Amino acid sequence: MSDNKIQSLRGMKDIVDDDSVLYSYFIKHASRISSNYGFSYIQTPILEETSLFKRSVGNSSDIVNKEMYQFIDKGSNDVCLRPEGTAGVVRAFIQDKKDRAGKVCKWYYHGSMFRYERPQKGRLRQFHQFGAEVFGLSSVYEDANIIMMLKSIFDFFGIKYTLLLNSLGCSSCMPEYKINLKYHLKDFKDKLCEDCQIRSKTNLIRILDCKNDTCKSLLKDAPTITNNLCSSCDVDFKKLKEILDFNNISYKIDSNLVRGLDYYSKTTFEFISNEIGAQSAIAGGGRYDKLVEFLGGRQTPAIGFAIGIERLLELIKIKENKKDTIYMGVLDEIFLNTLVKIASKKRSNTKVVLEYIPRTHNKHFKLAQKANASIIALLGSNDLEKQTIYIKNLSNNEEKTINIEDF
Ligand code: HAM
C-alpha cells in the first residue's frame, strides 16, 4: 500500500510549519522595504510562451537550453513554466504600453520559478524568488539604489553577505572584449571543458564563470572586461563604486561575474553568503538596457534583482516579538458566543488564539503560556451581566477586569 503513496516531485518542496512562518515573515518585510523604495507589487503568470525566455534569457544559456519545463498545451502553443521573473515583467511592461508612456516604473514580485536542474542543497527545481525591476532610469545612481535596497532587506533580516560586482560593458565595448578573449583562448581551445568548447561558439563570455579547474587556470591571465570598458561604461562603473564607497557598502570586483542570463549589460552583481554551502548566491541582478527593445518595446533602460527565498530562509531568524498574541477563553460554555464575537473584532489587528473548551483559570494560563501569548482574556461568571472581561498581561502580571467595549 505504502508504495502507492504519492510524493512531491524531485526538487520540489512543501513550505509548511516553521518554514511557512519564515516565508510570510520574509515576504511581509521585503515587500514593506520595497514599497519604502517606491516599488509597487506586480504579479505575472507562471506560464508564458517559451519564446519569451528564449529571446530574453537566451537560447544558448543553460536555463533555456537544458532546464526549461516546456510543453505544448492543448491549443498547440509552445509554453513553459517561468524559470525566472524578469522576462515576464518586461513582457507585461511592453504589453501595457508602459514603454510608450515614458514614465519611470518600479515593480516588485515574488513567486515560484522552475528550473530542471540537478537538485542538491540550496538548488531546487521549483524555488521562489523575490525580485524587483526598474524601468526608465539610466542613471548609475539607480544601480546604487537597487544595491542599497538589497542591503536594506538583508540588513533588516541580519544577513551577512559579500557583494560581488562587475560591469559587462555595452554593445560598443563588449564585442571588442570578446575578440580579445577569443584571441587569448586561441591556443588552448582544445583544453577547454566540453561545455566551454560549445560556449566558445555560442556564448563566449560564459566561459568566464566556468567552474572547471582547467578552464579556470586557462583564464588566469585572460583580459578582463573591466579593463576593456569604453569610456562611457568606465565612467559609470567608477561612479557606481564611488557611490557605494560613499555609503560604506563594501564589494569585491569580480570581472568573471557574467551571470547565467544573456540580457545583461553594464552593471551586474551577486550577493553571496558563506553560511549556506556550495549554492552560495542569495541574490543576483544587473542592468538590462537592451531587453525592452529586444522584446519589441521602445528603448527603455532597466535594472533589477532577484533574491532566492529558500536560500535566504536558511539565514533568517525572526526578529518580531512573537508575544503580541492574545489568548482568549471561557470559564463556562454560555460565554462562548460572546467570546467568539469579541475575538473576531480583535483579530482585525491582533493575533488571537481562541480556546473553545471551557476550562479553569489555571488550565487557561497553562495553555496561554504554551501559545506564547502576552495577554490572556477570560470571560467568566458575572462578566456578561456587567459587560466586562478579565485581562492579565503575562509579561508583567498586571491583571484587571475591564469593559468589553474598552477591550
Ligand atoms: P538568478 O541569478 O538566476 O537571476 O536567480 C536569482 C537567485 O535565485 C539566485 O541568486 C538564487 O538565490 C536563486 N536561485 C536560482 N536558481 C535556484 C534554484 N535552482 N534553487 C534555489 N534557488 C535558486 C535571475 O533569476 C534574474 N531574473 C535576476 C534579475 C532580476 N536580474 C535583473 N532583474
Q: Which domains does the chain have, with CATH numbers?
A: 17-173+229-312 (3.30.930.10), 325-403 (3.40.50.800)
**pLDDT at site 322:** 58
Nearest-atom index, ligand 1, CA of 270: 10
Q: What is the mean pLDDT of each run of 10 residues along the chain (407 residues)?
A: 83 94 96 98 98 94 94 98 98 97 96 97 97 98 98 96 98 95 89 90 90 91 95 98 97 95 96 93 98 97 98 82 83 94 91 96 94 93 84 92 90
Instruction: Give this prediction's pTM.
Output: 0.88
**Where do the DSSP E strands lie in 12-150?**
40-41, 47-49, 69-72, 78-81, 105-114, 126-135
User: Strand 162-167 and strand 375-379: pairing?
Assistant: unpaired
> Which of left, alpha, beta for 97 (phi over 0: left; psi -120 to 50: alpha)?
left
The radius of gyration of the chain from alpha carbons, rounded to an integer in Å, stands at 27
CB 325 within 8 A of CB 352: yes
CA 300 vs. chain centroid, Å, equals: 23
Nearest-atom index, ligand 1, CA of 133: 33
**pLDDT at site 222:** 93
CA 2 vs. chain centroid, Å, equals: 37
Which of 261, 273, 287 to mutate for ligand 1's pocket (most ligand atoms within 8 Å of CB)? 261
How many angstroms separate the CA atoms of 291 and 58, rounded? 11
Which of 311, 313, 315 to mutate for ligand 1's pocket (most ligand atoms within 8 Å of CB)? 311
**Where do the DSSP E strands lie in 144-266?**
162-167, 252-253
CA dihedral 44, 45, 49, 51 (to 10 degrees): 40
Establish how many alpha carbons lie within 13 A of residue 217's alpha carbon, considering only the half-sphere containing its beta carbon.
4
Q: How would DSSP label each residue in 278-334?
A: S--EEEEEEE-TTHHHHTTS----EEEEEEEHHHHHTT----S-TT-EEEEEESSGG
Cβ–ligand 1 distance for 58 under 6 Å, the answer no
